[in-house]
Structure 1
Amino acid sequence: MIGCLIIHGYTGGPYEVEPLAAYLRENTSWHIEVPTLPGHGRKLALKNVSHKKWLHAAEKALKQLHEKYDQIYLIGFSMGGMIASYLAAKYKVDKLVLLATAGKYLSFKQILLDVGEAIADGFRGELNKNKLYLHYKRKLGEVPFKANLEFLKLVKYTKPYLKDIDTPVLIAQGQQDSMVPYKTAYFLEKEITSKRKEVVFFERSRHLICLGNDKDALNTMIYAFLTKNK
């Protein structure tokens, strides 16, 4: 029996990875677990939540899967990718998938392009159709400054564990990602010491890679990676 743990990103929730989770549920008999990290979800409550609580919650979910399932697949998106890497270094995991993983963050060049596109949509009176604008508009004012510091602490804490990962890993990255520079994929490939590593770029995808234009191709690629030579 196979258990698959999917970990969402910072200030997000299971909805960020729902198309992937739904695809795997429809096409496999695996148990798919997508926990909501403390303070996250549709309604954010990050005021007094530390990065240690995020790590502990994900670790607890993984331990519970280990109690019930023979094989474990681990998928992490954005900050969830760093959490997944940390867990893969500490525990037995059969395969690891890292999506737009925040080993580094903020591509200022792409941010300027995104802002320019939002401004253009504003002039056309179509700002409310700009998916990126709508997604981040909701979060303005909901994320305390301290929570951003906790995010940075988590990235710093988990980075050293990359060199301890020896499980097969798939690294997927959107080339138009304004939060995580696409070159981060190369950084992850270099730092992770697994013998089997695959890196794939999606030209049309931004940070929310599981919700973007390439989501169907992404889903099938992840499925192929996880089911290969099992």
Structure 2
Amino acid sequence: MSVGVLCIHGFSGGPYEVEPFTTYLRTHTNWLIEEPTLSGHGEELQMRGYTAKHWLMDAELAFRALAKKVDEVIVVGFSMGGIIALYLAKRYKVKKLVLLSAAAKYVSPKQLVKDFKVLATEAYHRNLSNNELYLRYRHKFNHVPLSSTIEFMKLVRMVEPYYKDIKVPVYIVQGKLDGIVPYHTAQFLYDQLTSNDKTLYISDKGKHHICYGEDYSEWFSCVLSFLKSA
């Protein structure tokens, strides 16, 4: 049986967000890995004018194209991509799901305040150019219109009623130090999904970009074992 993996990135991001994991899959399998870029996303953000419907359609078209090439399709979704992955699992025949920092709930104000306090301190001491968080989000702060953020929230609300209908085997990975998605969101998803085969992995040191976390090598292998199991 030929296997395809569709990897969907997050809001205002691109395939680079899941690149360490897709590289791992390519190294350890002969599966066909596809990483579409959603409309307006990627290295150069041009998000204005695109809506939740555009992003869902992008994912559907990518899924259909991949499904024509292989016998079984696995869907991996990061952040907003995790919610899109759930949408696909409701509408199409998905073999298994992997949800990474899935944004069923979003923005933990407490963690954001912590992060921005660090930014403010470093700005005061003129170290901002060396701060990883600042460098990662600086571009987004300047290039994500409010209208796009509203579309993201719409998408999350649109898919939420489907959770209880999803019975696909699922592996959920969430970082405890995630400043964008509160880590208890993963437990919420785990409880909502009615899959008989479901696993929840909480990374104590993981932040939002979980594929770049310190412990990625531990859960990469766990997820691969899950995906290869019957």
TM-score using structure 1 length: 0.96
Map of 1:63 onto structure 2: 64
Map of 1:228 onto structure 2: 229
Matches within 5 A, 1:139-218: 139-218=140-219
Q: Which ranges of structure 2 fall in alignment gaps of 5 or more residues?
A: none
Amino acid corresponding to residue 168 of structure 2 in structure 1: T
Amino acid corresponding to residue 89 of structure 1 in structure 2: K
Q: Which ranges of structure 1 fall in alignment gaps of 5 or more residues?
A: none
In the superposition, relative to structure 1, how do residues 129 and 220 fare at CA in structure 2: closer, same or farther (>3 Å)? farther
- Deviations 1:165-220 (CA, angstroms, capped at 9, x unpaired): 11110011000001100010111011111111111100111111112222222322
| Pairing 1:109–2:107 present | no
User: CA contact under 8 A between 1:210 and 1:218: conserved in structure 2?
Assistant: no
CA displacement at 1:12 relative to structure 2: 0.1
Amino acid corresponding to residue 38 of structure 2 in structure 1: L
Q: CA RMSD in A?
A: 1.2
Q: State the alpha-carbon separation in 2 of the partners of residues 204 and 126 from structure 1.
A: 23
User: CA contact under 8 A between 1:7 and 1:34: conserved in structure 2?
Assistant: yes
TM superposition outliers: structure 1 runs of 4+ over 6 Å: none
| Pairing 1:98–2:96 present | no
TM-score using structure 2 length: 0.96
CA displacement at 1:223 relative to structure 2: 1.2
Q: State the alpha-carbon separation in 2 of the partners of residues 212 and 108 from structure 1.
A: 21
Map of 1:27 onto structure 2: 28
SS state of the match for residue 133, structure 2?
Answer: helix
CA displacement at 1:64 relative to structure 2: 1.2
| Pairing 1:133–2:119 present | no
Q: State the alpha-carbon separation in 1 of the partners of residues 205 and 128 from structure 2.
A: 20
* Number of positions where the alignment pairs a residue of Structure 1 with one of Structure 2: 229
Q: State the alpha-carbon separation in 2 of the partners of residues 139 and 60 from structure 1.
A: 26
CA displacement at 1:150 relative to structure 2: 0.6
Please say which of residues 113-122 and 1-10 is displaced more in the overlay: 113-122
CA displacement at 1:108 relative to structure 2: 1.2
CA displacement at 1:89 relative to structure 2: 1.3
Amino acid corresponding to residue 211 of structure 2 in structure 1: C
CA displacement at 1:123 relative to structure 2: 4.2
CA displacement at 1:91 relative to structure 2: 0.9
CA displacement at 1:124 relative to structure 2: 4.3
Amino acid corresponding to residue 112 of structure 2 in structure 1: I
Q: State the alpha-carbon separation in 2 of the partners of residues 124 and 209 from structure 1.
A: 28
| Pairing 1:121–2:127 present | no
Q: State the alpha-carbon separation in 1 of the partners of residues 15 and 44 from structure 2.
A: 12
CA displacement at 1:120 relative to structure 2: 3.4
Please say which of residues 123-132 and 84-93 is displaced more in the overlay: 123-132
Q: State the alpha-carbon separation in 2 of the partners of residues 225 and 126 from structure 1.
A: 42
User: CA contact under 8 A between 1:168 and 1:197: conserved in structure 2?
Assistant: yes
| Pairing 1:88–2:93 present | no
- What percentage of residue pairs aligned between the two structures are identical? 45
User: CA contact under 8 A between 1:82 and 1:103: conserved in structure 2?
Assistant: yes
Amino acid corresponding to residue 167 of structure 2 in structure 1: D
SS state of the match for residue 150, structure 1?
Answer: helix
User: CA contact under 8 A between 1:81 and 1:101: conserved in structure 2?
Assistant: yes
